[in-house]
């Protein structure tokens, strides 16, 4: 917990003197470390090197139904790949479209289509006025970037331990027909690791939006990315929404980008069978088909959902020590910061002294440690309290991670001392 008692000027000066000397020492080391993005490390990427050998020659290029994966067609993905995602998500293949390596592309594409052509042949969003999205904060910077690109107004929604503040969500969607969507990362949310409660999921399913073209963008980015041997279970939003006749309100997304190869994975969009039929009409015009050979490789290598989940145990074994190291180092900041203890995902969310996050990131950069920009977890990069920093432990090796956290810790204390002296 961040200390509430104000430091005396002498206490602040003593802290500054001590922290400044430490900072000068680490700065002199000439470090060049990167903790800015939640990327898999090389050991994780090597876990599925066998993907390369799954399709060896022309005789192995056919899917089990006989589809030649080298050819055109199959805009919604291979049947086997659709089944693999359906089994992982608890859905049916008719509710799945499988694409390339990035679910972000699918999210962007869906928003773009809604802007220009509307939802299910409705009025294009761009012709309705200043449309808005609800954005849980702290949240995923790339979600916010999509809204910013399309000039969509973003309304921050505070996160709670159970997920977004649903009282505010329910009120805003029921009152304003220009609220067209909300971004959600329901499991191990980016950056704080929150897992939405069952009640929160059911309240999403039961929403009564004023806008008939309101959509929930349910980003399952970390849906099986556990750290501690247990995958959190939450209700299936699409199935819950069906109970209220709201199934067309839900759009789900996920990918293998942090399961197989970040740059050569497969991704999916899941929705009601009715929505999928509308989406396929666009895909027939947009593409002659996805990379079916890569989809085939993934199906051949993993085989079924159970094998994918077992594979994620191997990922957890690699990154768990990194999270443990970071959390252990953060304990040294007691009184200067507060942080989350995630059970999955790729990040730890750290709140430092109000008004110092940008300064902490600057100090780290000048000492050779690159962090995610302060404010990135808020729309337009504006954290009203300038306190939140997303720490990404997965990419650096342990020795570099320890060195980076040493820089981070002294930067947090130095920035706190500067702020106390300025005040």
Whether residue 281 is found in the same domain as residue 327: no
| In a domain? residue 50 | no
| Alpha carbon distance 102, 112 (integer Å) | 16
111 three-state secondary structure: helix
Q: Are residues 25 and 87 in the same domain?
A: no
Tens digits of per-residue pLDDT, 202-212?
999 999 999 99
Residue 323 and residue 287 share a domain? no
Six-digit token string for 215: 């959509």
Which secondary-structure segment (H or E) carries 23? helix 9-27
CATH number at residue 114: 3.40.640.10
Q: How confident is the model at residue 57, as a pLDDT? A: 81
Which of 304, 329, 359 delimits the end of a domain?
Answer: 304
What would the two tokens of residue 309 be? 């989940």
Residue 100 lies in a domain: yes
188 and 284 in a single domain? The answer is yes
Question: Are residues 316 and 408 located together in one domain of the fold?
Answer: yes
Note the pTM of the prediction, 2 decimals. 0.96
Q: To which H or E segment does residue 181 belong?
A: strand 179-184
Contact (CB, 8 A) for 61 and 70:
yes
CA-wise closest residue to 29 among 368, 326, 362: 368
Give which of 307, 217, 216, 215 is closest to 256, Cα–Cα: 307
pLDDT value at residue 122: 95
Task: Quote the domain boundaries for residue 360.
Answer: 9-45+309-422
Which residue's structure tokens are 């706190």?
A: 416
58 falls within a domain = no
CA dihedral 291, 297, 300, 304 (to 10 degrees): -70
For residue 134, list its beta bridge partners. 155, 182
At residue 54, the pLDDT reads: 87
CA atoms within 13 A on the CB side of 395: 14
Cα separation, 191 vs 142, in Å, equals 12
Give the separation between CA 410 and CA 28, rounded to whole angstroms.
14
Q: Is 155 helix (H, G, I), strand (E, B) or coil?
A: strand
First to last CA, the chain: 20
DSSP H stretches of helix in 268-346: 273-286, 292-302, 305-330
* Nearest-angstrom CA–CA distance, 23 and 15: 12
Residue 105 sits in the same domain as residue 228: yes
Establish if 53 belongs to a structural domain.
Answer: no
- Any idea which residue has 């969310």 for tokens? 349
Same domain, residue pair 27 and 106: no
Tokens read off for 84? 């693999």
Enclosing H/E stretch for 403:
helix 398-422
Please check whether residues 133 and 241 belong to one and the same domain.
Answer: yes
Tell me the average confidence (pLDDT) per consecutive run of 10 residues in the chain, 423 residues long. 79 95 94 92 94 85 86 94 98 97 96 97 96 98 98 98 98 98 98 98 98 98 94 96 98 97 96 97 94 95 97 97 98 96 98 98 97 97 98 96 97 97 92
Task: Give every strand in the sheet of 250-255, ordered side by side.
Answer: 96-98, 267-270, 250-255, 215-219, 179-184, 132-137, 153-160, 163-164
Residue 325 counted as domain residue: yes
Residues 83 and 202 in one domain: yes
Same domain flag for 199 and 329: no
Residue-level pLDDT at 60: 84
16 and 83 housed in the same domain: no
Please tell me the distance from the alpha carbon of residue 230 to that of residue 406, in angstroms, as a whole number. 30
Last residue of a domain, one of 304, 330, 351: 304
Residue 27 lies in a domain: yes
Query: Is 376 within the bounds of a domain?
Result: yes
Q: Is residue 57 part of a domain?
A: no
E strands, 375-419, are 388-391
Six token digits for residue 89: 């998500």
Local structure of residue 135 (DSSP, 8 states): E
User: What's the number of CA atoms in the CB half-sphere (13 Å) around residue 265?
Assistant: 22
Number of domains in the chain: 2
41, 394 in Cβ contact below 8 A?
yes
Residue 347: closest CA among 379, 312, 394: 394
Confidence (pLDDT) at 229: 83
Separation CA 300–CA 308 (nearest Å) = 12
Shared-domain flag, residues 277 and 414 = no
Domain boundary among 264, 287, 304: 304
Distance CA 69, CA 61 (A): 6
- Position 5 scores a pLDDT of 65
User: Can you tell me the distance from the alpha carbon of 349 to that of 339, in angstroms, rounded to the nearest whole number?
Assistant: 6
- What's the rounded Cα separation, in Å, for the pair 80 and 68? 13
356: CATH = 3.90.1150.10
């Amino acid at each position: 917990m961040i200390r509430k008692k104000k430091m005396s000027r002498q206490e602040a000066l003593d802290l500054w003197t001590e922290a400044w000397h430490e900072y000068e020492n680490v700065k002199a080391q000439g470090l060049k470390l990167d903790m800015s993005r939640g990327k898999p490390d090389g050991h994780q990427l090597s876990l599925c090197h066998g993907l390369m050998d799954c399709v060896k020659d022309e005789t192995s290029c056919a899917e089990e139904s006989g589809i030649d994966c080298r050819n055109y067609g199959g805009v919604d993905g291979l049947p086997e790949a659709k089944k693999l995602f359906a089994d992982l998500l608890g859905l049916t293949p008719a509710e799945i479209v499988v694409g390339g390596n990035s679910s972000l592309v699918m999210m962007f594409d869906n928003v773009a289509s809604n802007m220009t052509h509307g939802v299910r042949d409705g009025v294009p969003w761009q012709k309705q006025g200043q449309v808005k999205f609800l954005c849980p904060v702290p949240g995923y910077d790339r979600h916010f970037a999509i809204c910013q690109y399309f000039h969509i107004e973003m309304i921050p929604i505070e996160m709670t331990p159970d997920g977004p503040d649903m009282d505010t969500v329910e009120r805003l969607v029921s009152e304003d027909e220009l609220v067209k969507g909300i971004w959600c990362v329901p499991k191990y949310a980016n950056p704080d690791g929150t897992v939405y409660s069952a009640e929160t999921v059911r309240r999403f399913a039961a929403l009564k939006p004023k806008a008939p073209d309101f959509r929930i963008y349910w980003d399952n980015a970390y849906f099986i990315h556990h750290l501690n041997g247990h995958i959190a279970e939450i209700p299936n939003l699409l199935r819950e929404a069906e109970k209220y006749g709201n199934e067309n309100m839900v759009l789900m997304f996920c990918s293998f980008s942090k399961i197989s190869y970040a740059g050569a994975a497969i991704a999916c969009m899941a929705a009601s069978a009715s929505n999928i039929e509308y989406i396929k009409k666009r895909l027939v015009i947009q593409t002659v088909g996805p990379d079916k050979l890569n989809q085939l490789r993934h199906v051949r290598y993993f085989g079924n959902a159970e094998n994918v989940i077992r594979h994620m145990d191997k990922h957890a074994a690699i990154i768990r020590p990194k999270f443990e190291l970071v959390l252990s180092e953060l304990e040294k900041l007691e009184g200067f910061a507060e942080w989350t203890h995630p059970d999955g995902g790729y990040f730890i969310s750290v709140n430092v002294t109000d008004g110092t996050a940008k300064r902490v990131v600057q100090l780290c950069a000048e000492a050779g440690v690159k962090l995610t920009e302060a404010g990135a977890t808020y729309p337009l990069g504006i954290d009203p309290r300038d306190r939140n920093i997303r720490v990404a432990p997965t990419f650096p090796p342990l020795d570099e991670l320890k060195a980076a956290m040493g820089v981070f810790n002294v930067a947090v204390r130095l920035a706190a001392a500067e702020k106390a002296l300025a005040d």
